[in-house]
Amino acid sequence: MKGEWVFSIKPEFSSSEIVRRGVKASLIEWLGQAADSRVDDFCQIVSELVNNAVEHGRCTFIAGEFRAEGDKASFTLTTDGTAFDPTDRKAEMPDFDEKNNLPEGGYGLAIINQLSDEFTYRHHEGKNIISVAKLFVKRV
């Protein structure tokens, strides 16, 4: 079974949750099973991408495409914002503080790097195109 979902949405922080819900529903439909940690990981990746576009990208539109086929789910985000290659350096998770908590903010790219199996960027005709993918071994 193949899963697809295409959208265009306003660059607002509330958009992240809308996109997350759409991707999660598409993943569950494609997998044919209840959500597990891989689904949650992929949804976290998608949320980080949309939030970064809204917060830092200075974009006027956000478009995206979710596709799932075989053993791979992929998500492509397209914006017209400031050109920025999030893959040009390896982002790392910050250290925990004295209370064993992570500091608030600033490590979305590290989360994307850690949770995704593929992470690419290209700037084409004034648009940022970021793609991520995660492998899923489907249960029969």
Closest C-alpha among 92, 113, 112 to residue 103: 92
Closest C-alpha among 70, 49, 82 to residue 136: 70
- Would you say the pTM of this structure is higher than 0.85? no
- Confidence (pLDDT) at 81: 84
Percent of the chain with pLDDT over 90: 55
User: What are the chain's domains?
Assistant: 3-135 (3.30.565.10)
Backbone angles phi, psi at 25, to 5 degrees: -60, -40
How far apart CA 134 and CA 48 sit, in angstroms, is: 15
Q: What is the mean pLDDT of residues 2-14?
A: 90
Q: What is the pLDDT of residues 31-78, one digit of tens each?
A: 876 557 889 999 999 999 999 899 888 999 999 999 999 899 999 999
